[in-house]
């Protein structure tokens, strides 16, 4: 019997490379013979089929799927490029998290692995009460966290990891995005520091390097 797996991909911030990392990780699993679909928790800043889903499919070298066209892979797409809680409010609606969970379950019945990309970082609000972190904790999905070598990443990464430990969220992997390249002295130590930190505090988690995707 095929093992179904749902994993959540978040990052230390918006624009850190979650979408690229999601496509990369999907391809890695597909190369191991597993069928993979991606889902976007909530998309802001566009209309129609979520732009992150479109990017995932391009990276996977797949056309848009029926589950993309009918909204199963991204139920909530909002125009305004901001936090989901605000984007939903501006659209005079609310994000129904039970609907998103139901969509994930439908996808999990059809694919071996569902990778859910969050919007922004872990503490991004989905409404006035709940953050992405709360949802992740409720669902007990393992987390793949995307980080980078940019100045400031050590602090943002450690804050994200400390809160995962406090909330009992399992870290599957830390993806270290080498893009964009900035200061090699800072980047090298950021990578080395985070690798040491992972070995000490999350020995079961994988450290994965992501290079520039062209």
Ligand X SMILES: C[C@H](N)[C@H](N)CCCCCC(=O)O
- Which pair of structure tokens corresponds to residue 115? 């990778």
Using CB under 6 A, which of 79, 81, 165, 170 touches ligand X?
81
Enter the DSSP assignment of 126. S
Our CB check for ligand ATP shows the closer of 4 and 14 to be: 14
Residue 152 interacts with ligand X (CB under 6 A)? no
Residue 94 interacts with ligand ATP (CB under 6 A)? no
Q: Which helix (H) or strand (E) holds 199?
A: helix 184-201
Q: Side-chain half-sphere of 115: how many Cα atoms within 13 Å?
A: 30
Cα gap 40→17, rounded to integer Å: 14
Annotated binding-site residue? 120: yes
Residue 80 interacts with ligand ATP (CB under 6 A)? no
Burial readout 85-123 (b: 16 or more C-beta within 10 A, e: otherwise): bebbbeeeeebebeebeebbeebbeebbbbbbbbbbbbe
Please, what is the minimum distance in Å from the beta carbon of residue 1 to ligand ATP? 33
Q: Which helix (H) or strand (E) holds 156?
A: helix 153-167
Residue 16 interacts with ligand X (CB under 6 A)? no
Our CB check for ligand X shows the closer of 38 and 191 to be: 38
Binders in 26-55 for Mg ion, by CB under 5 A:
52
Annotated binding-site residue? 52: yes
In the complex, the residues that contact ligand X under the rule CB under 6 A are 14, 44-45, 81, 83, 119-121, 124
In the complex, the residues that contact Mg ion under the rule CB under 5 A are 18-19, 52
Residue stretches of the annotated binding site for Mg(2+): 19, 52, 117
């Amino acid at each position: 019997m095929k093992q179904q797996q749902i994993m959540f991909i978040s990052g230390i911030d918006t624009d850190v490379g979650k979408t690229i990392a999601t496509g990369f990780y999907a391809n890695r699993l597909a190369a191991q013979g597993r069928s993979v679909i991606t889902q976007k928790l909530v998309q802001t800043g566009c209309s129609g089929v979520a732009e992150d889903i479109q990017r995932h499919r391009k990276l996977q070298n797949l056309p848009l799927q029926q589950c993309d066209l009918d909204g199963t892979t991204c139920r909530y797409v909002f125009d305004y490029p901001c936090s989901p809680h605000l984007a939903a409010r501006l659209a005079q609606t609310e994000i129904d998290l039970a609907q998103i969970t139901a969509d994930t379950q439908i996808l999990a019945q059809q694919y071996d692995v569902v990778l859910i990309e969050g919007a922004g970082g872990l503490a991004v609000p989905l409404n006035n009460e709940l953050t992405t972190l709360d949802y992740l904790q409720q669902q007990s999905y393992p987390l793949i966290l995307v980080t980078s070598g940019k100045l400031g990443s050590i602090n943002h990464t450690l804050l994200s990891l400390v809160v995962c430990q406090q909330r009992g969220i399992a870290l599957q992997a830390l993806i270290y995005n080498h893009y964009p390249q900035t200061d090699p002295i800072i980047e090298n130590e950021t990578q080395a520091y985070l690798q040491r930190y992972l070995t000490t505090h999350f020995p079961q988690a994988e450290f994965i390097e992501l290079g520039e995707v062209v």
